[in-house]
Structure formats: structure tokens, C-alpha cells
């Protein structure tokens, strides 16, 4: 713990903390393999790799500690696994402890906060000491536990006072929330997807046969070793993050809360991985269909939180009676989650026609798709296949025309549904993308009139999408399976190191549709950068419920492939194996399916989990999964 603590005022800190094995209660000083039977205990500068069962607890302030030691101890206590930050509060005056809310937010710095003293309080008669906490911001986590990248300086005052009765130094003024370095944050917190339902999808009361509500992931960060399951359930019941709130709904009635029995403080699955969730009276007023949706939200949210996962959820009313029960297989049937079950992978072959590979075989050979895109004369440079794999959209070889046709043998193409009149072929239409409702999205890169277009059902008159706040020109479009989030690569002229250049950045926006029957307007709102460290994003694709795979490079760096979360954080786990010259990339929402890529050197290649990139065909471009 405190491995990235930055020293203040040139002074080297000696952090004090303790490790506690949750299973056996043995107390160890951080950095020691066992409790010594002689000699002095000494603090260490960082915490070594720890057993997953080890929890780290800070020590309270020692008697007659100097102001600098109180500041150091408080910052160390913020990185401990102490529930409620009770030890950290011991470094505060009683009044400050009462007013300080650690849940108000979290600021993540490149390194731990440094502390510079204004007045040192070294004189025997000093009653106050002032410090400034400083560092460079990496991210913030708000009161809803939602992560967002951040930059700029962190510069906050901290004041200490000498208490009259005890003559001990304590902090009496401090910034709101919690602050820690990046490595401490990654050690203390983990990302969890809460799940809600797209507002425009069917609910339990209005679902038609064969229809199901569409699950939408809402990532948050919870403390890893401070009862993450109960934390997550409380966050789920509290509702979606502010960014998603306009386009998703929860089946839990407003005001629904946990109602744990007296003496019970946490939720724990039983030996059969069944979790019983007691709720207050608000939850007892729903019908069986809504109750099943509530249980599905919990199952999807909690399935990865315990080592063996939660496989069954039972909801209980305020009187302890069972409201409903749902297992994993029932939830997967009742709720659309994770996109379609892709039968094929697609790309453009050397004849500029659309071909496909069977998704369930790594040794299958590509074959032309049925219909005009695989059998006709129209040459393509890019295509997109609907999520039900019955329809495709193709961009002509010159980039100027977008066609839509069925994947049925003998099918023909009509007139283009969209045309671009840009002078350069490179400034015309992007690769299109289908949303989960069968609507088609494409961008026209014409510098004279750049537009993002939407076609209901892939037909009819294109609707120009409103994109307030968009600064630049869209060069790539990918809509998430849930239909409420969209990823865009945006080009923008910039000056770096005194030279003019073009940056290509990755953004995610929220899709909002007109709420009246005659309102056909479509908007993409609150775009936010999700890979701000990359100045040139070459390709991207959705690769899970809240994750994208990205090809890009940092300023002055080389091309790299990596995963990023939609909130801008970096997911745990390794990046895909390196591949040179990547121009296009495709992934499925089903993370078990292989990555596809087009490399200038190797053509169409495929990466199966745990393996290396394998060439599919040398002569091919523009790989895509349905969507």
C-alpha cells in the first residue's frame, strides 16, 4: 500500500500500516513474511505483491506525532481496506470527521499526493499548520462511482490544528472525498458493470412474443476488499449513472433499498452460488414480470464478482417472503444481453465482394455471401451486416454510394440509399454500422458538409444526426449492441510540437431519439474521449458490453493494440498480441469469438484467445462482425 506515494517537501516518508489476513486474523507489518520475535518493527516504503486474502489496514496516529506525520498517516489511511475509512477519520478533529464525506468522490493522481508545508507548526507554541496537497490528475470517480479521465494539476489546501485538551495535532480542514495515486487505485478498486435496460426496448408489461428488454452496461468502480458484492448491489439499486440515465431504465422501483436482517452487514452467496437479496417494501409492489427483470439485472451485475460467480438470485420482500427467483439460463432467455449470436465473420475479398467465414470453426474457408453483395457485379470497399445476419449494407469501391440488400440468393440491389459528392474518395462514406433495432448508421466525411446519417430500418430518407459538441470530422462509426451508445473516431486539425497535424481520437456518445411518434430526430450527446492518451486512433470495434478494442499510437510512439473501457479506464488483463500495419479491426460483443483484423502485410488475420494471430487469406480487407 502506498507504493506510489509522492514525498512532500523533499522529505522521504515512512508509511505505517498493517496487513490482516481476513481468513485467520493474523496481523503483519507490510513487507514482512512473518511476525518477528525480536527486534524493532520498521515501516516500509511500498507494499509487495499480496495474497488475494490479505486486507491492508492503516494504523491510527501515534502519540505526539508531528504535523507532517499526521498528513502522511492520513494519506496512507486513504489507501487502506478499512471499511468506512474509520482509521483515516482518527487523523481528523471530531468536527472535521463529522463533516468529511469520503464517498463524495475520488481523485486519482499519477503518483500519490505530495504535501508541501506552508507553516510547519514546529514551534512549541504553534496551534496551526498549513499544507498543500499536490499532484497531476489522471482520473476522477464521482459519488456514483463512475470513472472519468482527467488531467491538470491537483492543488488542495489541508490545515491542521493542535487540540486544546490533548495537545495532539489533527486535521481540521481537508478537500472533499478521497485522493490517491494510480497504483494504489488499481490495487484498491475494480471495475464492475451494473446492468439496466434500454429505455426504447420492451418491458415486462409491454413485451411482445419473441421480444425482450435489452441490457445496457453501466461501469462503476468499487473497493475490491470492502464487501464489493454489497457495495455493487447498493449502487445498482441507486440507479444508473448520470450519463446513462436519459436512455436506460431500471426495473427496481424508485426508493428500493436493501433490508438486511439485524446483525447482518453483507450479502454472500450460499454453497450453490445462490444469492438471496432482501429488499424493502418498495420492491413488494411489482408484478412477477418486473420482478424477473429485477433479478436479471442482479444476475448480470454480480456474475463475475465472486470466484465461482452468482448463478441464482432470489428476491425477498420486506417481510421475508420470496418475491421471485431466477437462474442464469432463465435470465439469458428473458433478456437480450451481449448482442446477437454471430454465425459468421465477414470481410471484402480480392474481387471486392462480401464473403463470410463460419464463426464456430477456425479452419473454415471464406465463401461469397448469398445475394448481390456476394454474387453480383457491385464492387465494394466496406460493408456491414445486420445483427440478425439477414441484411447487409455495402459502400461502393469509390466510397460514394451506400447500398442495402438482403443476404438471400438471387437478391438484387436497388438505388443507393446514401450518396457522397466529396471530391476525394478518401473523403466519402465510412464503413456503415447497424444498431440492435435494425437501423443503419454511416458518416459522410465530405469536408464541405460532414454528416452523421441514420436510416430507420436501413431504408427511406436519411436523417442527419445532431452532434452538439462534436469538434472535428467523423472517420469511423460503430454502434453498440444495446443501441444507446455509439463509438466514433473523430479527425481534427491540431498543432503538436509546433507542427500542423491531424489527430484521430476515440469518443463514445449517448444516442437519444425523439420521444414523440412524429419526431424522427436523432442525437448523439455528451461525447467523451475514452482513449485520450492516443493521438492517432486507426481502428476500433466494440469488444464486450462496456469495452472496445483500439488500434492507435501515442504522441511520438508506435502503433499498438489495446482494450479500453467506455468510461476511459483501462480494463484488467493483457492487451491483444501485437500486429503490425493494422488498418481495420473487428470484434464481437461475445468475447469468446476471435478478433479479426486487416493488416497491410498479412491481409485478413484472426486471433483466437490464448493463441497467436493466424492468417486467413492474404487478399482481403475490411473485416466485420454483424453490427
- For 104-172, give the DSSP string: G-EEEESSPPEEEEEE---STT--EEEEEEEEEEEEEE-TT--EEE--SEEEEEEEEEE-TTT--EEEE
For the segment 512-536, the average pLDDT, to the nearest whole number, is 89
What pLDDT shows up at residue 207?
44
Do residues 164 and 91 lie in contact, with contact meaning Cβ atoms separated by under 8 Å?
A: no
Mean pLDDT to the nearest integer, 519-531: 93
DSSP character string of 455-483: EGGG-SSPEEPB-TT--SEEEEEEE-TTS
Partners of 396 in beta bridges: 380
Reply yes or no on whether the pLDDT at 255 is more than 60: yes
Flag whether pLDDT at 488 surpasses 80: yes
Mean pLDDT of 21-49: 36
Please give the CATH architecture assigned to the domain spanning 344-624: 6 Propeller (2.120)
Q: Domain coordinates of the chain in residue numbers? A: 17-189, 199-334, 344-624
Between these two residues, 9 and 460, which has the higher pLDDT value? 460
Q: Using alpha carbons only, how large is the chain's radius of gyration in Å? A: 28
Length of the chain: 627
d(CA 454, CA 459): 9
- Is the sign of the CA dihedral 258, 264, 269, 274 positive or negative? negative
Q: What is the pLDDT of residue 592?
A: 85
Give ∠ CA 239-243-249 in degrees, rounded to 5.
Answer: 40
The mean of the pLDDT values for the chain is 88
Under a CB-based contact definition with an 8 Å cutoff, are residues 181 and 5 in contact?
A: yes
pLDDT tens for 420-432 read: 999 999 999 999 9
**What is the predicted pLDDT for the residue at 202?**
61
- Which is more confidently placed, 277 or 125? 277
The pLDDT confidence band at residue 550, using thresholds 50, 70 and 90, is very high
Q: 446: helix, coil or strand? A: coil
3-class secondary structure, 322: strand
494-503 pLDDT, tens digit each: 877 778 888 9
Cα–Cα distance between 119 and 129 in angstroms, integer? 5
Average the pLDDT over each of 10-14, 159-163, 332-336, 352-356 and give the range with the smallest value. 10-14
244-258, 307-321, 511-525: range with lowest mean pLDDT: 511-525
Split at pLDDT 50, 70, 90, the class of 7 is: very low
Predicted confidence (pLDDT) per residue in 554-598, tens digit = 988 999 999 999 999 998 888 999 898 999 999 998 888 899 999
Residues 6+ apart with CB under 8 A from 279: 256, 257, 258, 259, 315, 316, 317, 318, 323
Which one has a higher pLDDT value, 139 or 574?
Answer: 139
Distance CA 356, CA 373 (A): 11
Q: Which residue has the cell 440488400?
A: 405
CA 246 to each of CA 109, 145, 275, 436, 600: distance values in angstroms, whole numbers, following the listed order: 30, 18, 30, 18, 42
Instruction: Report the share of the chain in percent with pLDDT over 70.
Output: 87
Cα(47)–Cα(49) distance, rounded to whole angstroms?
7
Encode pLDDT of 94-122 as tens digits.
999 999 999 999 999 999 999 998 765 55
Grid coordinates given for 551: 488500434
Q: Identify the bridge partners of residue 389 per DSSP, sorted by sequence position.
A: none
High-pLDDT (> 90) share of the chain, %: 74
Given a cut of 70, is residue 28 above it in pLDDT? Answer: no
pLDDT digits (tens, 9 = 90+) for 166-211: 999 999 999 999 999 999 999 999 999 999 999 977 654 444 444 7
Decide: 452 and 477 in contact? Cβ < 8 Å. Answer: yes
Which helix (H) or strand (E) covers residue 374, if one does?
helix 372-375
CA distance 172 to 154: 20
Q: Output the CA–CA distances (angstroms, integers) from residue 90 to 64, 157, 495, in the order listed.
A: 14, 19, 50
pTM: 0.88
Residue 515 has pLDDT above 90, yes or no: no
Element (H, E) at 621: strand 620-624
Give yes or no for residue 25 having a pLDDT over 50. no
Amino acid at each position: 500500500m502506498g507504493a506510489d506515494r509522492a514525498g512532500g517537501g523533499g522529505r522521504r516518508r515512512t508509511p505505517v500500516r498493517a496487513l490482516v489476513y481476513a481468513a485467520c486474523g493474523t496481523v503483519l507489518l507490510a513487507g514482512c513474511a512473518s511476525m518477528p520475535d525480536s527486534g524493532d518493527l520498521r515501516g516500509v516504503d511500498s507494499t509487495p505483491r499480496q495474497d488475494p486474502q490479505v486486507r491492508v489496514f492503516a494504523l491510527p496516529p501515534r502519540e505526539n506525532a508531528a504535523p507532517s506525520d499526521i498528513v502522511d498517516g492520513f494519506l496512507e489511511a486513504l489507501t487502506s481496506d478499512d471499511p468506512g475509512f474509520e482509521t483515516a477519520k482518527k487523523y481528523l478533529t471530531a468536527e472535521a470527521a463529522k463533516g468529511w464525506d469520503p464517498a463524495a468522490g475520488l481523485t486519482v493522481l499519477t503518483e500519490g499526493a505530495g504535501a508541501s508545508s506552508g507553516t510547519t507548526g514546529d514551534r512549541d507554541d504553534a496551534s496551526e499548520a498549513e499544507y498543500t496537497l499536490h499532484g497531476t490528475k489522471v482520473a476522477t470517480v464521482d459519488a456514483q462511482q463512475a470513472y472519468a479521465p482527467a488531467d491538470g494539476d491537483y492543488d488542495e489546501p489541508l490545515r491542521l490544528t493542535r487540540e486544546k485538551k490533548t495537545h495532539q495535532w489533527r486535521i481540521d480542514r481537508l478537500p472533499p472525498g478521497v485522493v490517491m495515486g494510480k497504483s494504489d487505485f488499481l490495487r484498491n478498486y475494480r471495475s464492475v458493470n451494473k446492468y439496466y435496460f434500454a429505455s426504447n426496448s420492451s418491458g415486462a408489461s409491454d413485451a411482445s412474443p419473441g421480444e425482450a428488454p435489452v441490457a445496457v452496461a453501466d461501469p462503476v468502480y468499487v473497493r475490491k476488499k470492502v464487501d464489493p458484492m454489497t457495495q455493487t448491489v447498493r449502487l445498482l439499486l441507486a440507479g444508473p449513472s448520470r450519463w446513462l440515465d436519459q436512455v436506460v431504465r431500471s426495473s427496481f422501483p424508485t426508493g428500493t433499498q436493501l433490508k438486511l436482517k439485524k446483525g447482518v452487514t453483507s450479502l454472500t452467496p450460499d454453497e450453490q452460488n445462490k444469492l438471496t437479496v432482501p429488499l424493502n417494501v418498495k420492491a413488494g409492489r411489482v408484478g412477477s414480470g418486473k420482478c424477473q427483470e429485477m433479478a436479471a439485472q442482479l444476475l448480470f451485475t454480480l456474475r463475475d464478482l465472486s470466484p465461482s460467480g452468482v448463478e441464482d438470485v432470489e428476491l425477498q420482500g420486506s417481510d421475508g417472503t420470496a418475491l421471485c427467483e431466477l437462474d442464469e439460463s432463465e435470465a439469458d432467455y428473458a433478456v437480450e444481453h451481449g448482442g446477437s449470436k454471430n454465425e459468421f465473420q465477414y470481410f471484402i475479398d480480392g474481387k471486392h465482394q462480401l464473403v463470410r467465414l463460419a464463426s464456430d470453426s477456425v479452419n473454415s474457408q471464406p465463401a461469397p455471401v448469398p445475394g448481390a453483395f456476394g454474387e453480383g457485379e457491385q464492387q465494394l470497399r466496406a460493408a456491414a451486416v445486420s445483427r440478425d445476419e439477414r441484411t447487409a449494407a455495402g459502400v461502393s469501391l469509390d466510397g460514394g454510394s451506400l447500398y442495402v440488400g438482403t443476404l438471400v440468393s438471387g437478391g438484387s440491389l436497388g438505388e443507393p440509399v446514401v450518396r457522397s459528392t466529396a471530391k476525394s474518395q478518401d473523403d466519402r462514406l465510412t464503413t456503415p454500422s447497424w444498431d440492435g433495432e435494425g437501423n443503419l448508421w454511416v458518416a459522410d466525411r465530405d469536408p464541405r458538409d460532414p454528416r452523421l446519417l441514420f436510416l430507420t430500418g436501413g431504408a427511406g430518407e436519411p436523417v442527419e444526426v445532431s452532434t452538439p459538441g462534436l469538434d472535428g470530422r467523423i472517420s469511423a462509426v460503430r454502434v453498440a449492441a444495446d443501441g444507446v451508445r455509439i463509438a466514433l473516431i473523430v479527425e481534427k486539425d491540431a498543432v503538436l510540437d509546433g507542427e500542423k497535424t491531424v489527430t484521430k481520437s476515440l469518443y463514445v456518445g449517448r444516442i437519444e431519439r425523439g420521444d414523440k411518434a412524429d419526431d424522427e430526430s436523432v442525437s448523439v450527446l455528451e461525447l467523451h474521449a475514452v482513449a485520450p492518451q492516443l493521438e492517432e486512433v486507426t481502428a476500433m470495434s466494440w469488444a464486450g458490453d462496456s469495452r472496445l478494442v483500439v488500434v492507435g499510437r501515442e504522441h511520438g510512439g508506435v502503433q499498438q493494440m489495446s482494450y479500453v473501457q467506455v468510461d476511459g479506464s483501462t480494463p484488467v488483463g493483457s492487451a491483444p498480441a501485437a500486429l503490425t500495419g493494422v488498418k481495420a479491426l473487428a470484434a464481437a460483443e461475445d468475447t469468446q469469438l476471435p478478433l479479426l483484423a486487416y493488416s497491410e502485410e498479412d491481409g485478413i488475420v484472426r486471433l483466437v484467445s490464448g493463441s497467436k494471430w493466424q492468417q486467413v487469406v492474404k487478399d482481403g480487407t475490411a473485416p466485420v462482425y454483424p453490427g
